[in-house]
Amino acid sequence: DVKVTQSSRYLVKRTGEKVFLECVQDMDHENMFWYRQDPGLGLRLIYFSYDVKMKEKGDIPEGYSVSREKKERFSLILESASTNQTSMYLCASSLNLGPYLFGPGTRLTVT
Amino acid sequence: EDKVVQSPLSLVVHEGDTVTLNCSYEVTNFRSLLWYKQEKKAPTFLFMLTSSGIEKKSGRLSSILDKKELFSILNITATQTGDSAIYLCARGDSGNTPLVFGKGTRLSVIA
């Protein structure tokens, strides 16, 4: 059963902490994406990657960075977590121009 | 300015009703229009539409695209409580740029 997995379903961190959100896909997809989802704002693209060691900024990259050292893994890093980064984080992957397959999401709370 | 606009934002219907969800988009380098269903976790893929006038159908769900008027509709017949979810549409542009999502329609089906 092909899938996208995310390291944690729920995460609570303190302001100023460095936070790592991991995403792994087992479908050999080239494309991987990180979104955050907030009520009333929908899905907003943070970063994406079309290949290993490649990354592109999305619509809201400020306060985030990413790493893609292997094709199957795309990590989102919050260098210094802030309360306004409390959100649902969704990872997705796709093959070429196909539909995205989403992971289960990580609900991050920053206190 | 929203590039993909969904309406209504929320909707409450009774079991057995038929609902129509709307998605309009700006014309750019349009390639495809996708629909997703999101319950309590990750969005799951429903349909991808690329050609006008060709209905895609899966059980009680169907969708159609109008590339001239720049919109798509998602129909759900004989609704059930299990259809309660957020329905997202997304526009795919040429050149493998990331999908642009609407803010979603929250559908609640009550018994």
Q: What domain count does chain B have?
A: 1
Residue by residue, pLDDT tens for chain B (111 residues) are: 558 999 999 999 999 999 999 999 987 778 899 999 999 888 999 999 998 888 999 999 999 999 888 999 999 999 999 999 999 999 998 877 899 999 999 999 999
The torsion defined by the Cα of A95, A98, A99 and A103, in degrees rounded to 10, comes to 0
The closest CB to that of A97, out of B31, B36, B103, belongs to B31
Tell me, what amino acid is at B7? S
The four Cα atoms A39, B64, B22, B92 give a dihedral, to 10 degrees, of: 40
Domain chopping of chain A, boundaries: 4-100
Minimal Cβ distance to A50: which of B45, B96, B101: B96
**What region, left, alpha or beta, does residue A46 occupy, with left being phi > 0 and alpha being psi -120 to 50 degrees?**
alpha
* CA B28 centroid distance within chain: 19
Interface test with B, best of A97, A106, A107 (most B CBs within 10 A): A97
Supply the range of the domain harboring residue B46: 4-110
User: What is the percent of chain A where pLDDT is above 70?
Assistant: 98
Contact call for residues A17 and A111 (beta carbons, < 8 A): no
What CATH number corresponds to the domain at position B97?
A: 2.60.40.10
Give the one of B32, B44, B101 whose C-beta lies nearest to A43's C-beta: B101
> Taking a contact as any Cβ pair under 8 Å apart, which residues of chain A between 59 and 88 contact chain B?
none
Beta-carbon pairs below 8 A across chains A and B: 41
Looking up tokens 């999502």 gives B101
Separation between Cα atoms, residue A65 and residue A58, nearest integer Å: 11
pLDDT band at A1 (very low <50, low <70, confident <90, very high): low
List of chain A residues whose C-beta atoms are within 8 Å of the C-beta of residue B43: 90, 102
pLDDT tens figures, A51-101: 998 999 999 999 999 999 999 999 999 999 999 999 999 999 998 888 899
- Alpha-carbon distance of B102 to B5, in angstroms, equals 5
Superfamily of domain A4-100 in the CATH hierarchy = Immunoglobulins (2.60.40.10)
User: For residue B53, what pLDDT is reported?
Assistant: 87
pLDDT tens readout for residues B22-34: 999 987 778 899 9
